Amino acid sequence: MSGRFPINFRAFSVIAAAVFGAILCAYVYMINRTAGIVVGVVYIVALAAVSAVTVARVIFKRTKLRVAIAVCLSLILGTCAYAVAVTHYDSRMEVANCGGNHYVEGRACAFDTSSGNYRIKLENLIFDGVPMSGTMIVGIEAEEYGVAEFVDYGDTLKFNAYVTVLLPINDGVVDGNAYRTGVYYRTTVSADGIEIEFGKPTAIEKFLRGLRNLLNDNMGDKFGNIAFSMLTGDKSGLDDGIVDYFSAAGIGHILAVSGLHIGFVIMMIDFALNKLDKRIRLPIIGVLIIVYAVLADFSPSVMRAVIMAFVAGIAEIVGGRRDIMSSMLCAFSFILAVKPLYLFETGFLLSFGAIFGIALFSNMIVRALTAKNVHKKVAKAIGSTFSVEIGIVPTLIYFFKCIQPLAVFINIVAIPYASVVFASIIVFSVIGAIPYCGVVLSVCKYLLVPLDYIAHGIAAVPYSEIYVNATAAVFLCYPAMFCASEFFMMPKGRLSVILMTVAACVAFYTVSPSLPSEYIAVGECRSSESLVLYDDNSYLIGYVDNRYAVERMLDENRCKKVDGIYLLSIDDKTVDIILELRSSVKIGIVYCDKFGDCGARLIDNGIDFRLIDNGENYEIKPAYFDGEMIGYEFCGVLFAKNGTDDIAFSAYDAVRIRSIGQTRYEGTVLSNYNEGVPQDNILTIANGAYTYSLPQK
């Protein structure tokens, strides 16, 4: 074995850098087509010239063949990444003007009820008889499910609706999530206006539907959907609150299929086949994890884990070195060559950030701990967990505006336990599929209960999330981290380099965009909350039915007081959230158009609650249509209740209504006012829930 020529994928650092540069050229193209073409051509010509020179040097035996292969792959994959990115952008821009009223036909391929609304994803789209690329999210308000509840995989939906086109880039920010999901359009339609033509689901759709039903029937909807999410990464059946408190606790990755899950699947299969020769065992493992990746919809983290597993498997078969940094760069290069705009997708960056952190710091931490007589297994667990948290911090700050200081401690316990739960779900799902044996899945339910309690409890701990607002400069922390790792440092001056790196990272973390003094901040698109800051006062408008979304918005906007809360409706959940918010935020007057027992509860707990009266004057005015209150109005913006008839929108400059699109855009939309007069397109879809200008205006 030792006599074999070792495999060294270190050359992929050159290839990864070339692919990264090509994607930056494509980004320039998306901002300015002419400049992007010039930069792209110059870049590719430069790569071609370097490749030609390198090949010539190999011929004259002045350069190793490995170097020439790396340079040539840089040219091939870099050119591929640039071409794919600009082609995708051009195809998206071809349909940019296809919004408006259309007669739409499409095949139902996914469903989502996580936000309390009903969303259906359609593929094979046809607008007015013309086939269209991409997919569409059709949203239906909860009060109007109707016939939509009977839609199944494979059914064709037909309806008339106003279609909104999602642009690939807004204000310089690439919509990586829309790129990953292939969602190009969004619309809202009444269930009564949908015509259904029944069809047949694919084999994969049948399997996933059957698996979800098996888990839900035997574990209940809540824990069944948690288990389904752990197995497939599909969180569409989870209530937003569950996703929020798992994320706030720092263990949201458990609900998504990641390298952790792929690694555990490989370990289980390898254990089951351990008596087979590895030349037989490894190909079988490869086939099975590809099948699992198909079920997980080839998410970026799954693709990364699968490629790295294949690299490790090849190295083991031929006796090569297993190098996590090199195999990570191999996965990075090949994924981005085929899907270049994944570079702007949150899941991709989190996945690679985690592995990058492990590659840089895990061994250093393990050596330091074992030197202090810490047991090696404990040291490895601490080293891996701490390294992952370091690696994902820049991405967390940029996309989610937060860091989670408790996550490193929670994951040391949660990850091993979650692995046991994950294995149990797989094993008991196989047994539960046997007729009359589904009851065994109740064991998994009780295993999930402690995990749920831990997530809920940690999310409620003060400072479990600390909010930090930063620009894209925060990603400069990654090269700074590399400088502080064992890959780069020399023994002398180690402490100096570490201190300078820490200082650089802190500087990047604190580069924060300034906030205007008067603006409207829009919460996540699955929430309804909006924050109006005007004349040194702050007003919260919405249903206030998602505590974590409200807290995030208040923290992101540095808001420590709310002068008024204008509720679109009120129930016990809303009251509970307001009372919880009071512990961290000073709350003024709460308004609503209904009173009842909930209003009395607020008054009994010392909250100034008042019933909206059309005859009084308010900072945020109630809005009416046909004698019925439809929401609130401020400076020409309507904050509408769910289900409001869009006929009422024509009297307003812009409308804020709960998004029922497919994705949760993270961040906040900020809009300046000019002497209190709203500008055109006052709020856009960029990096936040959307308030949109009316197309008919």
HEC string of 18-58? Answer: HHHHHHHHHHHHHHCHHHHHHHHHHHHHHHHHHHHHHHHHH
Cβ atoms < 10 Å from Cβ of 653? 19
Give the residue-averaged pLDDT of 380-401: 86
Point out which residues pair with 137 in neighbouring strands. Answer: 121, 186
Token couple for 684: 């856009």
Q: pLDDT (tens digit, 9 = 90+) per residue, 24-66? A: 999 999 999 999 999 999 999 999 999 998 888 878 777 777 7
Q: Could you read off the pLDDT of 568-595 as tens digits, one per residue? A: 988 888 888 888 888 778 888 999 988 8
Torsion from C-alpha of 654, 655, 661, 665, nearest 10 degrees:
70
Of 173-187, 188-202, 235-249, the least confident = 235-249
pLDDT value at 6 more than 50:
no
Question: Please, are residues 632 and 621 in contact by the beta-carbon 8 Å criterion?
Answer: yes
Paired tokens of 556: 């992101």
SS3 301: helix
Average pLDDT (232-244) is 79
- The CA–CA distances, whole Å, from 215 to 265, 321, 426 equal 19, 41, 11
DSSP state of 648: G
Site of tokens 């720092």 = 250
pLDDT of residue 215: 92
More confident residue, 557 or 394: 394
Q: Rounded mean pLDDT of 664-672?
A: 36
State the Rg of the chain over Cα.
27
pLDDT in tens, 482-499: 877 777 655 566 666 677
Quick check: 667 pLDDT over 80? no
| Backbone angles phi and psi of 653, in degrees to 5 | -75, -35
Query: In the predicted model, is pLDDT for residue 457 greater than 80?
Result: yes
- Out of 117-131, 180-194, 329-343, which region has the weakest mean confidence (pLDDT)? 180-194
Query: What pLDDT, in 10s, does the model give residues 606-649?
Result: 889 988 876 667 788 899 888 888 899 887 788 888 777 777 87
Two tokens at 15? Answer: 């290839």
Share the mean pLDDT of the chain: 80
As a whole number, mean pLDDT of residues 143-152 equals 68
Confidence check: pLDDT of 212 > 80: yes
- Which CA distances in Å does 193 have to 103, 147, 158, 469, 647? 11, 9, 8, 43, 16
Tell me the pLDDT tens digit for each residue of 287-326. Answer: 888 888 888 777 888 888 888 877 777 766 665 566 788 8
pLDDT higher than threshold 80 for residue 663: no
The alpha-helical segments, DSSP class H, found in 342-441 are 346-357, 363-371, 376-395, 407-432
- Tokens at 103, concatenated: 């007669």
**Percentage with pLDDT > 90 across the chain:** 17
Residue 241 clears pLDDT 90, i.e. is over it = no
Q: In b/e form, how buried is each residue of 167-197, taking b as 16+ CB within 10 angstroms? A: bbbeeeebbbbbbbbebbbbbbbebeebebe
